[in-house]
Structure 1
Amino acid sequence: MNNQATLQADARVSSRHAHRIRTWGNWVGLVLLIVGAVIMLFPLLILVLNAFKTTADYNATGPLSVPAHFSMDGIISFWNKSNFPLKLGNSLLISLVVAVVGVLLSVLNSFALGIGRVKGNTLILLFIMLANMVPQEALLYPLYVMFKWMGFYNSQWSIIIIFTIIQSAYGTYLLSSVYGTFPQAILEAATVDGASRWQILRKIVLPVSWSTISVLFVFFFIWTWNEYMIPMAFLMSEKTQTIPLALATMQGQHTMAATDLASASLLSIIPTIIFFIFFQRKLSQGIVAGAVK
């Protein structure tokens, strides 16, 4: 009896000690995460500080000080000189169309390869993976010749087509591995109940994978928004250019002060920050769902 009581007491002590260790570990992890977040947000903080400074204020106090005089001259200047509303509309149009169509193609392709069990699906996925590894620089000349022949050069449709294919290739490769592990018993039961392929996709597969699809949508939008090299080669006129191209063009045409450059950079990333905040919950759900799977 005494031995049993001693063992129970030792177990309680061990449990308390383990709980204390986990608690300290959690605190250490939280501190490290906060430090990492501060380090990652520090460049954005410096950008915001300098975006609302005057040039004289920047020259007098440097980049790390708080603005002595709040100024929006740099933002107004970039807004007017770059025709920012037009560039914003171009970026939104291209990024949204690529994200929506890219996700749609990724889902349909992945359903066929991962669940439909298309013959040679492993070989097809291998080619898709290899295509994702091709650097964009190697694609420029063949794409230039093709779109020049098609009459889509200097058109937003050329960028939409290119990045829809690039993003959907990545999405197909990612979703196919997810759909490949989908429980076959559920699919067979739905087939026995008379469900068509379209009904299986719409009522069974999509609800389960919606979080992962949301992550792809967010990534496709941001990746396309930030693209510079291919749009630079295909969008020549001001009417078709995107925000990253407008920022680069302003730097090339004018000698920009550090405060003007900070203002232009801040204005160019605000839409993606708003988009990311709006879809942040879906993004977190998709990451957690992927970790659980």
Structure 2
Amino acid sequence: MTATLTRTAAGRHRTTRRTLARRRGPAAWITLTALVVLTVGILVPFALIALNAFKPPAQYSAHGPLSFPDRFYTGGIQTFWDTADFGRALWNSVLISGCVCVLAVLLSILNAYALGIGRVKGRTWILGAFLIANFLPQEGLVYPLYDLAKATGLYDSQLAVIIIFTVIQAAFGTYLLSSVLSSFPQELLEAARMDGAGRARILWRVVVPVSRPTLGVLLVFFFIWTWNEFFLPLVFLVSNANQTVPVALGTLQGQHIMNPLTTSGAALLGVFPTIIFFLIFQRTLTRGVTVGAIK
């Protein structure tokens, strides 16, 4: 009986695959081909960086950047690590990006709960202000923020960058979550109120668990966006001890003469942590996007 059911299920699976293959028209194959070409175009630069990051200088000089390394060489990476004090810069980026993503998501959910579910007076104008804030260029904010940081004694401190980026990221998160929570199921809220739950309990016991996939997506995006920021950290973090990874990569180019192998090692070290973070939270990101698509 079990063998019969197994053969039946396998036959249905093959039939389904053949049916899907027949339904794929020229447009589907063109789209698939375009995606493959795009993927290859994205991966080729990373492959070249990895090849040259572990390539001996003599081989690079003799055979160029497209040759495969004949031995595992880490001199370029070690040179960049020691020259830029990359360990400290890496810790600074992890600390700043981690604090910003957590605090920005927390502030976003609190604001969105008041605007999306609480329906405070002037909700449309407030959301419009958050939307405008998302389009303000950082170049227009740098002078008032610089003057404010100087006046409060926070200039050249990681706390200043954490506060600034928390507010910037929370502006986008508030606007997005307010739109999501405006269509929150009212049955769940009414059931919680009938059970005697207050506003705070409804937020943490009902709204946050249901919105967890969206919050996870925001957490991942806020971390990566903050990690890649260069302009404001360059202005506010002038000490070598406080610099982040992008700033360390940029300032090292102007301070020292770097060969291509050291540059490749620096680029590999700079992008590798974000790839690891993305792979760790890939399931969270996929779940959040899928839930949003289903809704």
Q: By the TM > 0.5 criterion, same fold?
A: yes
1:78·1:84 contact (CA, 8 Å) conserved in 2? Answer: yes
Tell me how far apart the structure 2 counterparts of residues 248 and 36 of structure 1 sit (CA, whole Å).
27
Which residue of structure 2 aligns with residue 194 of structure 1?
A: 196
Matches within 5 A, 1:145-184: 145-184=147-186
Tell me how far apart the structure 1 counterparts of residues 114 and 230 of structure 2 sit (CA, whole Å).
32
Which residue of structure 2 aligns with residue 33 of structure 1?
A: 35
Tell me how far apart the structure 2 counterparts of residues 63 and 109 of structure 1 sit (CA, whole Å).
51
Q: Cα 1:196–1:264, aligned 2, differ >3 Å: closer, same or farther?
A: same
Tell me how far apart the structure 1 counterparts of residues 176 and 23 of structure 2 sit (CA, whole Å).
35
Matches within 5 A, 1:201-240: 201-240=203-242
**Are residue 21 (structure 1) and residue 18 (structure 2) matched?**
no
Tell me how far apart the structure 2 counterparts of residues 37 and 244 of structure 1 sit (CA, whole Å).
24
Q: Cα 1:163–1:59, aligned 2, differ >3 Å: closer, same or farther?
A: same
Q: Cα 1:110–1:66, aligned 2, differ >3 Å: closer, same or farther?
A: same
Tell me how far apart the structure 2 counterparts of residues 221 and 45 of structure 1 sit (CA, whole Å).
24
The DSSP-based 3-state class of the residue aligned with 1:213 is: helix
Q: Mean Cα displacement is larger for which, 254-263 or 20-29?
A: 20-29
CA deviation after TM superposition for structure 1 residue 41, in Å: 1.4
**Are residue 55 (structure 1) and residue 57 (structure 2) matched?**
yes
RMSD over aligned CA atoms reads 1.9
The DSSP-based 3-state class of the residue aligned with 2:211 is: helix
Tell me how far apart the structure 1 counterparts of residues 71 and 83 of structure 2 sit (CA, whole Å).
23
Which residue of structure 1 aligns with residue 7 of structure 2?
A: none
Q: Mean Cα displacement is larger for which, 149-158 or 30-39?
A: 30-39
Q: TM-score, normalised by structure 2?
A: 0.89
Matches within 5 A, 1:124-143: 124-143=126-145
Q: Cα 1:17–1:222, aligned 2, differ >3 Å: closer, same or farther?
A: closer
CA deviation after TM superposition for structure 1 residue 24, in Å: 5.4
1:94·1:156 contact (CA, 8 Å) conserved in 2? Answer: yes
Specify the code of the residue in structure 1 equivalent to 2:182: G
**Are residue 253 (structure 1) and residue 255 (structure 2) matched?**
yes
**Identity over the aligned pairs, expressed in percent?**
53
Specify the code of the residue in structure 2 equivalent to 1:212: T
Tell me how far apart the structure 1 counterparts of residues 228 and 250 of structure 2 sit (CA, whole Å).
12
Matches within 5 A, 1:86-101: 86-101=88-103
The DSSP-based 3-state class of the residue aligned with 1:163 is: helix
Residue ranges of structure 2 left out of the alignment (5+ in a row): 1-15
CA deviation after TM superposition for structure 1 residue 43, in Å: 1.3
Tell me how far apart the structure 1 counterparts of residues 82 and 186 of structure 2 sit (CA, whole Å).
57
1:49·1:66 contact (CA, 8 Å) conserved in 2? Answer: yes
Q: TM-score, normalised by structure 1?
A: 0.90
Paired residue total: 279
Tell me how far apart the structure 2 counterparts of residues 54 and 189 of structure 1 sit (CA, whole Å).
67
Q: Cα 1:51–1:16, aligned 2, differ >3 Å: closer, same or farther?
A: closer
Tell me how far apart the structure 2 counterparts of residues 257 and 127 of structure 1 sit (CA, whole Å).
47
Tell me how far apart the structure 1 counterparts of residues 78 and 19 of structure 2 sit (CA, whole Å).
58
